[in-house]
Amino acid sequence: MLPFILKRLGLAVLVALTVSFISFSLLFLSGDPAAALAGETASGEDIEAVRRLYGFDRPMLVQYGEWLWQAVQGNFGESYYFKLPVQSLIADRLSVTMTLGVCGITFALLTAVPLGVAAAIRPNSIIDRVALFLSVAGQAMPSFWFGLILIVLFAIQLGWLPPSGASSWRHYIMPTIVLGYYAMPAIMRLTRAGMLEVLNSDYIRTARAKGAGEMRVMFKHALRNAIIPVVSLAAVQMGFMLGGSIVVESVFALHGAGYLAWESIARNDLPTVQALILIFSMFYIVFNFLADVLNAWLDPRMRSS
Amino acid sequence: MNDMTKPLLSVRGLTLDIPMSNGTLHAVRALDFDLHRGETLCIVGESGSGKSLTSLAVIGLLEKNIRRNATQMNFDGTDLLTASKKQMRALRGNRIAMIFQEPMTSLNPAYTIGDQLIEALRLHKNVSREKARNRAIELLEKVGITAAASRLGQYPHQLSGGLRQRVVIAMALMCEPELIIADEPTTALDVTIQAQILSLLVDLTREMDVAMILITHDLGVVARVADKVGVMYAGELVESGPAADVFGKPLHPYTRGLLRCIPQPGKTERGAALGTIPGIVPSLIGDVKGCAFRTRCPHAVEACRDAIPERGEPPHKFLCVHPDGARAAEGEPA
């Protein structure tokens, strides 16, 4: 197990370095940063002064090295727009996004996996039909529309939940449902397909022939094998959710990292964009690494490959 | 203790029907057989003749869509037809063990060999993990696996097919069953391994006095190990009886055809073509009347379309319109 983990960790670090270089290069891919900073009315001399001030005149690799060295210490420079350190700007926003993301994926897994298992145990039953309907509806409904429907129903008509903001846990209920419901259909269908395949396998017949009860067959023998692809999918979706959903954050006026990313792109605030891209990518890398480790624990065949 | 003349397993009139979109498939029809303690019954027949379904019907693991009917299905006093799910579960793996065809896929890839062996025992017997572990090691040694204790921590994918089938056999023996149903246990293995596994299985069942239903299409195997033989064709037991009788004096035209398909030392001429049975198995969907073999039988007559009487002197029985089966027609004295 340990050699497998070390190998995956090494790969993850390599991917992280590549991503960091790409996100650093964005600064140069979007035109002359010194000219952009100095403003439209700046003279040639002003631009040169800005270039020296910010160190843009040094070789790119040197700049990358310095940026990376600062970044790993949590120092992402100063936002062009807010004139504040990027890290303090992001920290607030990220806690909102992380709360929402963790709640969203938890909601998705807690509804999708039991529903997928129930649907697979009795294909074409009422439960299976209901699960299929829910997943098609979830896939077809745009998040902003579903969010608005919830706001109209639960915040305005019934007055049970606050329509927007992030000041208490009750503010997170509707965003969690909207974000989680977006991820639910794929997880549900994959769980169902995995369970159906596993339930037809010979080792399930062996388990029954041993005299194992249905619950034991389903949860000890079948689910552990069926859940393996679901783990990988959930990791990707978790990464996506922690990257912030601009749509959900906008509808519920949750000022999270996704919303900040969208604003910063619009404002050409490159240090903020760079930092966010790097952080979002790290989420993906970390969750994929964790998913690999979890899968190797679930499936011994993966450890040796 | 138990009455020695009373069979361990007694099946009468077993019928299995599968509803299909274009009618009912009569997969198994009116099967009768008895098995006594310690006996080996070999069921032979080609693919699709209903052998595997019969064995699944005995342990109650048929697919839900298959309808099972019988006048009697009795295992040592337990009526298998009316037994509850819980009663069946208490029998399966405990008093009736099953060995399947595919050793490569019949062990769970996510658990170690040890986990799976220990589970088999602890599902039925209230023993400590430590005791179950010792029993697992003992049985792994019995099935000829070296360094048994260290194998317990290995996963199925780390073992070869032959080793896995040995593990499956050890697993079947964990609870000291009275009956083992082995459904083509050697088919998926290399020819050299087949003989080893088979003699292992036969030796162990004899040593432990376990009754066995061995399902196979290998007549060579049957001749070596069977006490009783049942020949299945298209869902019917067309001939059954003590192995010596069925092999020594085959009566049903299908059995005779099958026996001509295997070379016999001293009898089959070198270089001569082996026998074949021309034709294909008829469809069993809809009304199945008369002898199912008549379309391929060299001795078929008009009366084969009607109900076929059961003939022979018990325990050697066969289904044919001809009173002596095909013996006279094939030029043998009755």
Q: Which residues contact B326 (CB under 8 A, 6 or more apart)?
A: B251, B252, B253, B256, B298, B299, B320
Pairwise CB contact (< 8 Å): A212 & B90: no
**pLDDT attached to residue B2:** 47
Percent of chain A whose predicted confidence (pLDDT) is above 90:
35
A57-98 tens-digit pLDDT: 888 888 888 888 888 888 888 888 888 888 888 888 888 888
**pLDDT attached to residue B328:** 67
**Would you call B124 an interface residue with chain A, using a CB distance cutoff of 8 Å?**
yes
Pairwise CB contact (< 8 Å): A205 & B100: yes
Q: By three-state DSSP, how is residue A169 classified?
A: helix
Q: Tokens standing for A120?
A: 């697979």
What is the amino acid identity at position A265? I
Q: Which residue do the tokens 């020296």 mark? A: A52
Nearest to B108 among A207, A209, A304 (CB): A207
Nearest to A209 among B98, B102, B112 (CB): B98
Task: Determine, yes or no, domain membership for B103.
Answer: no
Q: What is the dihedral of CA B170, B176, B178, B181, to 10 degrees?
A: -20
Of B310, B295, B225, B223, which Cα lies nearest the Cα of B258? B223
Q: By three-state DSSP, how is residue A166 classified?
A: coil
Nearest to B110 among A202, A298, A304 (CB): A298
Pairwise CB contact (< 8 Å): B89 & A211: yes
Residues A58 and A90 in one domain: no
Q: Of A37, A72, A107, at which residue does a domain stop?
A: A72
Q: Which residues contact A159 (CB under 8 A, 6 or more apart)?
A: none
The answer to whether the CB of A138 falls within 8 A of the CB of A182 is yes
Pairwise CB contact (< 8 Å): B108 & A225: yes
- B129-164 burial: b if 16+ Cβ within 10 Å, else e: eeebbebbbebbebbbbeebeebbebbbeebeebbb
Q: Which residues contact B85 (CB under 8 A, 6 or more apart)?
A: none
Q: Quote the domain boundaries for residue B61.
A: 9-95+175-319
Task: Determine, yes or no, domain membership for A1.
Answer: no
Q: Which residues of chain B neighbour A209 with C-beta distances below 8 Å?
A: 59, 61, 92-93, 97-98, 100
Query: What are B214's strand-pairing partners?
Result: B42, B182
Domain CATH for B198: 3.40.50.300
Cis bond upstream, residue B185 (ω within 30):
no
Residue A186 has pLDDT above 90, yes or no: yes
**Would you call B169 an interface residue with chain A, using a CB distance cutoff of 8 Å?**
no
DSSP A262-297: HHHHHTT-HHHHHHHHHHHHHHHHHHHHHHHHHHHH
Residue A37 has pLDDT above 50, yes or no: yes
Residues A67 and A189 in one domain: no
**Would you call B105 an interface residue with chain A, using a CB distance cutoff of 8 Å?**
yes
Q: What is the dihedral of CA B194, B197, B203, B209, to 10 degrees?
A: -110
Task: Determine, yes or no, domain membership for A4.
Answer: no
Residues A151 and A218 in one domain: yes
Pairwise CB contact (< 8 Å): B107 & A206: yes
Pairwise CB contact (< 8 Å): A203 & B105: yes
Is pLDDT larger for residue A27 or for residue B333? Answer: A27
The answer to whether the CB of A187 falls within 8 A of the CB of A116 is yes
Parallel/antiparallel/unpaired status of strands B179-183 and B211-216:
parallel
Residues A90 and A160 in one domain: yes
Task: Determine, yes or no, domain membership for A183.
Answer: yes
Task: Determine, yes or no, domain membership for A3.
Answer: no
Task: Determine, yes or no, domain membership for A5.
Answer: no
Of A243, A224, A244, A234, which Cα lies nearest the Cα of A291? A234
Residues A143 and A288 in one domain: yes
What distance in Å separates residue B100's CA from the closest CA in chain A?
Answer: 8
**pLDDT attached to residue B157:** 92
- Please give the C-alpha separations between residue B12 and each of A149, B31, B66, B293, in angstroms, as whole numbers: 64, 6, 18, 22
**pLDDT attached to residue B1:** 43
DSSP A115-153: HHHHHHHSTTSHHHHHHHHHHHHHHHS-HHHHHHHHIII
**pLDDT attached to residue B267:** 67
For an interface test with A, the pick among B108, B123, B125 (most A C-beta atoms closer than 10 Å) comes out as: B108
Domain CATH for A239: 1.10.3720.10
Task: Determine, yes or no, domain membership for A213.
Answer: yes
Parallel/antiparallel/unpaired status of strands B96-99 and B179-183:
parallel
What distance in Å separates residue A126's CA from the closest CA in chain B?
Answer: 18
Residues A160 and A271 in one domain: yes
Output the CA angle B15-B246-B165, nearest 5 degrees: 70
Residues A38 and A144 in one domain: no
DSSP B105-130: TSS-TTS-HHHHHHHHHHTTS---HH
Q: Quote the domain boundaries for residue A45.
A: 11-72
**pLDDT attached to residue B305:** 87
Task: Determine, yes or no, domain membership for B288.
Answer: yes
Q: Tokens standing for A290?
A: 């964790």
Percent of chain A whose predicted confidence (pLDDT) is above 70:
99
Task: Determine, yes or no, domain membership for B145.
Answer: no
The answer to whether the CB of A116 falls within 8 A of the CB of A188 is yes
**Would you call A286 an interface residue with chain B, using a CB distance cutoff of 8 Å?**
no
Torsional class of B252: left (φ above 0), alpha (ψ -120 to 50), beta (otherwise) = beta
Residue A244 has pLDDT above 70, yes or no: no
Handedness of CA A245, A251, A254, A257 (dihedral sign): positive
The answer to whether the CB of B245 falls within 8 A of the CB of B316 is yes
Q: Of A40, A72, A104, at which residue does a domain stop?
A: A72
Q: Which residue do the tokens 């070789």 mark? A: A59
Q: Tokens standing for A216?
A: 């034991």
Q: A-B interface: how many C-beta pairs under 8 angstroms?
A: 67
What distance in Å separates residue A223's CA from the closest CA in chain B?
Answer: 10
The answer to whether the CB of B250 falls within 8 A of the CB of B317 is no
Number of structural domains (chain A) is 2
Is pLDDT larger for residue A56 or for residue B11? Answer: B11
Q: Tokens standing for B188?
A: 């998926």
Residues A47 and A153 in one domain: no
Number of structural domains (chain B) is 1
Q: In whole angstroms, what is the distance from residue B261 CA to residue A84 CA?
A: 90
Q: Which residues of chain A neighbour B107 with C-beta distances below 8 Å?
A: 203, 206
Task: Determine, yes or no, domain membership for B229.
Answer: yes
**Would you call B95 an interface residue with chain A, using a CB distance cutoff of 8 Å?**
no
Residues A53 and A166 in one domain: no
Task: Determine, yes or no, domain membership for B240.
Answer: yes
Q: In whole angstroms, what is the distance from residue B226 CA to residue B213 CA?
A: 9
Q: In whole angstroms, what is the distance from residue B210 CA to residue B173 CA?
A: 9
Residues A113 and A67 in one domain: no
Q: What is the mean pLDDT of chain A?
A: 88
Rounded average pLDDT per 10-residue block, chain B, 334 residues: 73 93 90 92 89 92 91 92 92 93 89 94 94 94 90 92 91 93 86 85 89 88 89 92 90 88 72 76 82 87 87 88 76 60
What distance in Å separates residue A212's CA from the closest CA in chain B?
Answer: 7
Residues A42 and A174 in one domain: no
Q: Which of residues 183-212 of A touch B (CB under 8 A)?
A: 201-203, 205-212
What distance in Å separates residue B70's CA from the closest CA in chain A?
Answer: 21
Task: Determine, yes or no, domain membership for A92.
Answer: yes
Q: In whole angstroms, what is the distance from residue B291 CA to residue B238 CA?
A: 9
Pairwise CB contact (< 8 Å): A208 & B92: yes
Nearest to B102 among A202, A209, A299 (CB): A202
The answer to whether the CB of B209 falls within 8 A of the CB of B37 is yes
What is the amino acid identity at position B298? P
Task: Determine, yes or no, domain membership for B78.
Answer: yes
Q: By three-state DSSP, how is residue B242 classified?
A: strand
Residues A61 and A98 in one domain: no
**Would you call B100 an interface residue with chain A, using a CB distance cutoff of 8 Å?**
yes
Q: Of A72, A95, A115, at which residue does a domain stop?
A: A72
The answer to whether the CB of A131 falls within 8 A of the CB of A125 is no
- Count CB atoms within 10 A of the CB of residue B286: 12
Name the closest residue on chain B to residue A213, using Cα atoms. B89
Name the closest residue on chain B to residue A300, using Cα atoms. B110
Nearest to B110 among A211, A300, A304 (CB): A300
The answer to whether the CB of B57 falls within 8 A of the CB of B14 is yes
Nearest to B155 among A213, A221, A300 (CB): A300
